[in-house]
Structure 1
Amino acid sequence: MSNHYAPPEWDEASDPPLSDILARLSCALDLAEGMPIGHALRTCILSMRLARRIRISESEISDLFFAALLKDVGSASRRTQVFDLLALESTNAQLFLRNRPWDSSHWNHLPQLLQQSRLGPNPAVGIQRVLRVALHKNRIARGLNRSSSEEGYAVAQELGLSTRTAETVLHRDEYWDGTGRPTGKRHGQIPLLSRILGIAQMLEAVGTAKGHESAIRLLHRRSMNRFDPGLVAAATLLHDQGPLWNDMESQNLVATALRLGPQNSLLPAPPSTIDRLCVAFARIIDARSRFTYRHSERVAQIAISIGVEMGIDEHRMGVLRRAALLHDLGNLMQPPPTSEQQAKPTKDELTLRDRHTQQANDLLQATPGFSEVAEVILGHHERLDGSGYPLRRKGEEIPVLSRILGVAEVFDTLSSERPYQPRMSPKAVYSLLEAATPVAFDPRCVHALYVTAALHAAA
């Protein structure tokens, strides 16, 4: 597809701050990790309080702030890797996996997992697979954590954040005694900000699940082996004096995090940074399955080609590109497919599928600078005859950009391999779209697709 598109010069006065965008998008990462909504924000708040207690510099505060919000950005594909590894077909078993944070201790729950799962049509093979995984659990856990840490490091760099922010994400699971991951650093070899973040994420997870006192007791038990004893003492003092957990039950965690964050946290982010953020999240979304690798970026390229042919103005082209990159954002909030080998999605998966555009819309409507993007995503599965979802809109009720995105998404999906369907040729996909026009698809969008595809083929 041709891609004659230059990002528009957005009005800097209206550019939202990156901190606010990341704070809100972190909720999607929470759900992708099977954590309660607000996990990253509460971790950020705890990190800020501990960091200010030990009086680190404002530049370090800034780097830690972004690292706390992005700490799980490399982990979105880890659960899918686990599902692929175990190849469990029981929905109950997969929900069991999804609802527990992943670390090496998680493998101790495999006996319970065996009890809850039907293990597919061949139980003996399923049991052998699970036991084989259990036998190599430490090596597997190391590999999964190393992969997610390195992916998080790469994403932070792609966003143009500081090297210190990227390294904080990379080493957040290192332990004081050198038994952590991914590199086995110990004591002062572990970056200070990573040590702070490691304590904060544990306090948040345990404090939310079992209460603040339980979190502090566990922190003390793991002092000297997992956590820096000096930071443990500082966190304990904050707990005893009261302010450590303030506003953790607040309905506006974003405001609390921004208030405690760096002084420059509300500086506007340039459009190029927001565009890089959209690309980064597109890759996180698509990493959930080998069948969707770079799907969102291809959809964006196709949508932009259609938009250029249709004469869409520069501002709306920017909106269209961001919407295309984030069109499957709602999928981060859903469990991975029950199997990549089955003939077609299950009824439950289809029900969840119908919700993903609404989920993305709800999240992005609350994210500064993304309301137009949210509206485009909400409508991209609507069809002109009202047969689409989630709102059954018809005809002119569907925004033009949503119609473009809908055609682009169908074209890439059908011309790519999927577990439930073979790859179709571009010509066959176009014929299918043409047959459904103008009943389901806008003739202008389908014609523009044909023109750009023909030009691309000629080139």
Structure 2
Amino acid sequence: MALTAEHIDPPAASPTVAGDPRSIRLAELLGALSHALDLTEGQPEGHCIRCCWIGMQVADALDLSADERADLYFTLLLKDLGCSSNAARICELYRTDDLAFKRNFKVIGAATHHKLEFVARNTGVSDNTIRRMKTIASVIAQSSALATELIQTRCTRGADIARMMRFSDAVAAGIASLDEHWNGAGQPEGRHGSAIPLYSRIALMAQVTDVFTMQSGADAAAAELESRAGNWFDPDLVPLFCEVIRQPDFTASLQSDTLEHRVLSRSPAQATIEVDEQYLDEISHAFSRVIDAKSPFTYGHSERVAEYTDMICAQLGHDRAHRRWMMRAGLLHDIGKLGVSNTILDKPDKLTDEEFEIMKSHPVLGHAVLRRVSVFEDVAEVAAAHHERLDGRGYPYGLSADQLSMDMRILTVADIFDALTADRPYRAAMPLEKAFAIMDDMTGTAIDDVAYQALKDAIAASQWPARGNSRHDPVN
């Protein structure tokens, strides 16, 4: 069901963050993460959940300890943690939509001619013939180096984020080696055979199984695994996967509406974890790393918005607990951009009406992710409103002033200020005076004058600019 304004709670003070630890089920966090990662991989919703279900059925046939099964479970659900980090580079190199590219890439065959056909079909699709041929030739000439670059960026970033979220080194290693192949021809390190972590081997096969089943059916998935046994895949694991795939109810179970519930009801996800304020901060920062890695123009944006939000709140006299809560809203406000192609996020020209409609969906997508985690439900309401305006002409819901809480107004001011004072695809960062001149004209119609004046006062008293205020900061 599409979200409407009725799904946004009426304005109210945000909850004061308690000092005592709270408990949540790990399933809440994993469900939200897997949903977000599906967005940025261009896969049908539930891809990570389906991969986990497939991989854990194979695990039933292996003699794994309880700890090993838990680590495999987390690897399967979080295998795509670093996937946003190569999106912009894919668009730049292949001159194509990163979401479609990633979706199509997962169904190419192992043979060289399949890869060449993929490049020809998915490179420079909107360019004229001459430019397209030049781009294709460049990609083919650099294919090995490009593959290493793109996969290493993704795998390294994913492993780092897993560690930030306090998952084990075994889970991080499983994510880091996801794209290694049994014959040593994979990336990023060219690991061979049993030198590839078992969790990585299972996760890659589960991924291929899901993608081929969803596109071409279970028989096609089994045939694909068997054709790659001994080159891409561990030949001892292939029969175990094929036994699972050829079960009569495999496809129906994979597409069942109850699958997510069944996966997240498994014992690893049912563990109740204590989440103190430090852990909530770490989780928020980890999410923001996934978000801001999507585009060089948004690198550091979430952290800066969080910083400006805190400056406004401090100027208005909010207590430390509330400021900490609002910083999390700043860190998480743009998580829905994971579902927007970099051809739109990084476009140097004005967006078309169709592209702008897609861009306007990102607060809704973000709300859908954050509301899955009980400790972020209130954050979700504030984050979803960061493009709303006092005059009701904002998006995605067209909320008006009486529907916008002070927290929503503060976040909007912080977001607009960073958008003006940081580099964007279509212009360089504005000097402070010009940014303030534009925002002066927005007060009372788009932005709240109290929150805006607090920002100006805080900036005047600070060592502005905030750290990382350039798209040229490294993203790797």
Q: Do they fold alike, i.e. is TM over 0.5?
A: yes
Check if 1:221 corresponds to 2:227: yes
Supply the distance in 2 between the matched residues of 1:351 and 1:140 (Cα, whole angstroms). 32
**Residue 81 (structure 2) aligned to one of 54, 73, 79:** 73
1:117–1:230 distance in 2 versus 1, CA, 3 Å: closer
Check if 1:346 corresponds to 2:352: yes
SS at 2:68's partner residue? helix
Q: Partner amino acid for 1:225?
A: N
Shift of 1:54: 0.7
1:171–1:422 distance in 2 versus 1, CA, 3 Å: closer
Supply the distance in 2 between the matched residues of 1:228 and 1:17 (Cα, whole angstroms). 34
- Correspondences of 1:101-250 after superposition (within 5 Å): 101=105, 106-113=115-122, 117-119=125-127, 123-240=129-246, 247-250=253-256
Shift of 1:261: 4.5
Q: Which residue of 2 aligns with 1:364?
A: 370
8 Å Cα contact 1:34-1:98 kept in structure 2? yes
SS at 2:333's partner residue? coil
**Residue 26 (structure 1) aligned to one of 4, 17, 34:** 34
1:47–1:420 distance in 2 versus 1, CA, 3 Å: same
SS at 2:394's partner residue? coil
Shift of 1:98: 5.2
Supply the distance in 1 between the matched residues of 2:407 and 2:451 (Cα, whole angstroms). 10
1:389–1:346 distance in 2 versus 1, CA, 3 Å: same
Q: Partner amino acid for 1:234?
A: L
8 Å Cα contact 2:165-2:283 kept in structure 1? yes
Q: Which residue of 1 aligns with 2:260?
A: 254
8 Å Cα contact 1:45-1:260 kept in structure 2? no
Supply the distance in 2 between the matched residues of 1:246 and 1:191 (Cα, whole angstroms). 30
1:219–1:129 distance in 2 versus 1, CA, 3 Å: closer
Q: Partner amino acid for 2:94?
A: L
1:282–1:436 distance in 2 versus 1, CA, 3 Å: same
Bigger mean CA offset, 103-112 vs 24-33: 103-112
Q: Partner amino acid for 2:151?
A: N
Q: Which residue of 2 aligns with 1:312?
A: 318
Supply the distance in 2 between the matched residues of 1:458 and 1:279 (Cα, whole angstroms). 22
Q: Which residue of 2 aligns with 1:100?
A: 104
1:396–1:241 distance in 2 versus 1, CA, 3 Å: closer
Q: Which residue of 1 aligns with 2:289?
A: 283
Shift of 1:432: 2.2
Supply the distance in 2 between the matched residues of 1:99 and 1:458 (Cα, whole angstroms). 41
- Correspondences of 1:378-389 after superposition (within 5 Å): 378-389=384-395
Q: Which residue of 2 aligns with 1:63?
A: 71
8 Å Cα contact 1:361-1:375 kept in structure 2? yes
Q: What do residues 167-187 of structure 1 show as CA deviations (whole Å, max 9, x unaligned)? A: 010112222222222212222
Supply the distance in 2 between the matched residues of 1:157 and 1:281 (Cα, whole angstroms). 12
Check if 1:300 corresponds to 2:309: no
SS at 1:267's partner residue? strand
Q: What do residues 185-223 of structure 1 show as CA deviations (whole Å, max 9, x unaligned)? A: 222211122222122111111122111222122222222
8 Å Cα contact 1:31-1:333 kept in structure 2? yes
Supply the distance in 2 between the matched residues of 1:272 and 1:328 (Cα, whole angstroms). 21
Superposition TM-score, scaled by structure 2 size: 0.86
Q: Partner amino acid for 1:97?
A: F
Supply the distance in 2 between the matched residues of 1:242 and 1:259 (Cα, whole angstroms). 23
1:239–1:382 distance in 2 versus 1, CA, 3 Å: closer
**Aligned CA-pair RMSD:** 2.6
Q: Partner amino acid for 1:101?
A: F
1:365–1:106 distance in 2 versus 1, CA, 3 Å: farther
Q: Partner amino acid for 2:86?
A: R
**Residue 53 (structure 2) aligned to one of 45, 50, 55:** 45
Shift of 1:445: 0.4
Supply the distance in 2 between the matched residues of 1:318 and 1:62 (Cα, whole angstroms). 32
Q: Partner amino acid for 1:40?
A: C
Q: Which residue of 1 aligns with 2:471?
A: none
Supply the distance in 2 between the matched residues of 1:320 and 1:124 (Cα, whole angstroms). 50
Q: Partner amino acid for 2:36?
A: A
8 Å Cα contact 1:107-1:137 kept in structure 2? no
8 Å Cα contact 1:35-1:101 kept in structure 2? no
8 Å Cα contact 2:285-2:331 kept in structure 1? yes
SS at 1:330's partner residue? helix
SS at 2:430's partner residue? coil
Shift of 1:339: 8.1
Supply the distance in 1 between the matched residues of 2:274 and 2:260 (Cα, whole angstroms). 16
Q: Partner amino acid for 2:127?
A: L
Bigger mean CA offset, 244-253 vs 370-379: 244-253
Check if 1:35 corresponds to 2:43: yes
Percent same amino acid among aligned pairs? 30
Q: Which residue of 2 aligns with 1:4?
A: none
Q: Which residue of 1 aligns with 2:8?
A: none
Q: What do residues 208-243 of structure 1 show as CA deviations (whole Å, max 9, x unaligned)? A: 211122212222222222222222232233345567
Shift of 1:82: 1.2
Bigger mean CA offset, 149-158 vs 126-135: 126-135
Q: Partner amino acid for 1:129?
A: T
Q: Which residue of 1 aligns with 2:468?
A: none
Supply the distance in 2 between the matched residues of 1:236 and 1:318 (Cα, whole angstroms). 49
Q: Which residue of 2 aligns with 1:3?
A: none
8 Å Cα contact 1:247-1:256 kept in structure 2? no
8 Å Cα contact 2:84-2:293 kept in structure 1? yes
**Residue 16 (structure 1) aligned to one of 5, 15, 24:** 24
Q: Partner amino acid for 1:108?
A: E
